[in-house]
Structure 1
Amino acid sequence: MASAPGNNLPVFYNDLIPLSSVDHAGYRSRTLDSAPFLATHHAVPLTVDEFVSAQRFLPIIFSAGDEPVPLALMGLNEGVNTFVDDQGKLRGPSYVPAYVRRYPWMLAKLRPDSDELSLCFDPTSEALGAFEDGQALFEDGKPSDLIQGVLKFCEDFEQAAGRTGQFMKDLKDLDLLMDGEVAIQVPGNEQPFVYRGFRMVNEEKLRDMRGDQLRKISQNGMLPLIYAHLFSLQLMRELFEAQVTQGKGPVSVTPAPEPAQA
């Protein structure tokens, strides 16, 4: 999920520059109580390491297209996020995907001819700058404990992204994904609301798998991840009801976005 700085930036990022002990020697990081960049996003990339925790709060779906990726669904319509208010503050207890918590940082390739990753950040973020308050990024010219922690988090994220890519490859090789559809019956309406435009695991194919295949996905850890995804789809109704309660009720079927570059 790493990318090189340029115009084709990952979702949330407006710009991306490498962290420098010279150029950013006086920079500090301050804690923000909101994430305005999240308020207009209804789906966020998710790694397989997060499935078990996320499935308690968020529907986990797979994007449409030839290269699907896992997504945490936060709204049923483009631009609607039921988990945060218009300022990006959480409305209540929830799971915040690592992709969101990583911002404004990420590891990126600075040169196309090298696989080396460098710690970069979005300079438009209000969390970083030459502030008088906050935690220093550098101490005596060396990365502070804060930056060491950020680097570790980003490295762990990249490793989780690698495991996610393998999981998706295995799902594809086993032909377990199908076009998804969830129907929600609305009281007083004859026709149900139908959400389409995403992919999901085909439960029938899962039940009909050969014994050796089923044993393999049980031993390699895929099976609990698959069931976490399937169980999470029950939260679609809660997501629908949240939109209605917030006055943002789904008026049409919205497909899931194409895979977000990360």
Structure 2
Amino acid sequence: MASNPQSGLPLFYNGLEPLSSQQHAEWKSRRVEGAPFLVGAHAIPVTVEEIPTAQRYFPIVFSSGPDAVPLALMGLNEGVNTFVDEAGKLTDNVYVPAYARRYPWMLARLSPNAQDLSLCFDPTTEVIGPFEDGEPLFVDGQPTDEVKNILGFCEQFEMAGQRTAAFMKELTDQKLLIDGEFTIQQEGYPQPFVYRGFQMVSEEALQNLRGDVARKMVQSGMMAVIFAHLFSLQLIREVFARQIEQGKLPPQQLPVAPL
């Protein structure tokens, strides 16, 4: 899940700047309460390893189009996150995807032809900067344990991203993905709320897998992840109910809302 800064910025990031022991020698990191970048983020990428845990809290679906990724739905409509308040503080004790925990850091290629990934950060963040207080990023020109831990986490995330890409390729190769659609008729509303713009695993296609393919998926653990995804879809209505409680339903005249 590495990104090339030249080809566009990933979710949450307003820019990318490589961490430098020279330019950022005096910079520090500090703790902040809340995650404002989560406000309005309704779909957060998750890795394949996270799905069994994340499915206990959120519906897990897959993005549409090529290079699809698993997504944890924290809301059903664009701009709606039912699990954070206006300041970005979690309103429930829920799992936070590694993609969000990684921010403002990420590994990225500094040029399209670069072979190596560099530790970069979003320069608009309030987490790191030339602060008087906080944990130093460098001491005597060397990265501190704080930076080493961040680098290690980002490296683990990249490896998880590669495994997730392999998982998605297998779903595609076995033709298990179909366009998803959910329709919810809410009492008091004349029209149903229809949600599209995502993919899900077809239970029919799953049942018709060849025995050797299914056995391989069971042995690799892939089948357990697929069922975790399917079980999580039961939470669609719970997230919808959270939107009702929070007054975050879309206008009724626009019943079709892409995820």
Instruction: Give the Å deviation of 1:114.
Output: 2.4
Q: Which deviates further from its counterpart, 145-154 or 86-95? A: 86-95
Contact 1:21 1:142 in 2 (8 A): yes
The answer to whether residue 167 in structure 2 is matched with residue 167 in structure 1 is yes
Counterpart AA for 2:258: P
Contact 2:5 2:111 in 1 (8 A): no
The answer to whether residue 74 in structure 2 is matched with residue 98 in structure 1 is no
Q: Distance in 2 between matches of 1:64 and 1:111?
A: 27
Contact 1:62 1:71 in 2 (8 A): yes
Q: Distance in 2 between matches of 1:185 and 1:211?
A: 39
**Aligned partner of residue 254 in structure 1, secondary structure:** strand
Instruction: Give the Å deviation of 1:112.
Output: 2.2
Q: Which deviates further from its counterpart, 133-142 or 185-194? A: 185-194
Q: Which deviates further from its counterpart, 160-169 or 5-14? A: 5-14
The answer to whether residue 224 in structure 2 is matched with residue 224 in structure 1 is yes
**Aligned partner of residue 26 in structure 1, secondary structure:** coil
Q: Distance in 1 between matches of 2:244 and 2:32?
A: 29
Contact 1:5 1:17 in 2 (8 A): no
Instruction: Give the Å deviation of 1:44.
Output: 1.1
Identity in percent: 60
Q: Which deviates further from its counterpart, 59-68 or 237-246? A: 59-68
Match for 1:255 among 233, 255, 258?
A: 258
Q: Which residue of 2 aligns with 1:260?
A: none
Instruction: Give the Å deviation of 1:160.
Output: 0.3
Aligned 1:113-262 pairs, distance under 5 A: 113-189=113-189, 192-251=192-251, 252-256=255-259
Contact 1:41 1:80 in 2 (8 A): yes
Contact 1:59 1:234 in 2 (8 A): yes
Q: Which residue of 2 aligns with 1:59?
A: 59
In the comparison of the two structures, how many residue pairs are matched?
256
Counterpart AA for 1:234: Q
Instruction: Give the Å deviation of 1:223.
Output: 0.3
Q: Which deviates further from its counterpart, 154-163 or 112-121? A: 112-121
Q: Distance in 2 between matches of 1:191 and 1:125?
A: 42
1:118-158 deviations in Å (ceiling 9; x for gaps): 10111110000111111111122111010010000000000
Q: Distance in 2 between matches of 1:138 and 1:179?
A: 48
Are the structure 2 counterparts of residues 53 and 240 from structure 1 closer, same or farther at C-alpha, using a change threshold of 3 Å? Answer: same
1:165-195 deviations in Å (ceiling 9; x for gaps): 0000000000000011223342345754332
**Aligned partner of residue 235 in structure 2, secondary structure:** helix
**Aligned partner of residue 80 in structure 2, secondary structure:** coil
Q: Which residue of 2 aligns with 1:34?
A: 34
Q: Distance in 2 between matches of 1:10 and 1:144?
A: 27
The answer to whether residue 17 in structure 2 is matched with residue 17 in structure 1 is yes
Counterpart AA for 2:25: A
Contact 1:60 1:232 in 2 (8 A): yes
Contact 1:55 1:228 in 2 (8 A): yes
TM-score (norm: length of structure 1) = 0.94
The answer to whether residue 46 in structure 2 is matched with residue 43 in structure 1 is no
Q: Which deviates further from its counterpart, 87-96 or 245-254? A: 245-254
Q: Which deviates further from its counterpart, 35-44 or 185-194? A: 185-194
Instruction: Give the Å deviation of 1:232.
Output: 0.6
**Aligned partner of residue 107 in structure 1, secondary structure:** strand
Instruction: Give the Å deviation of 1:14.
Output: 0.8
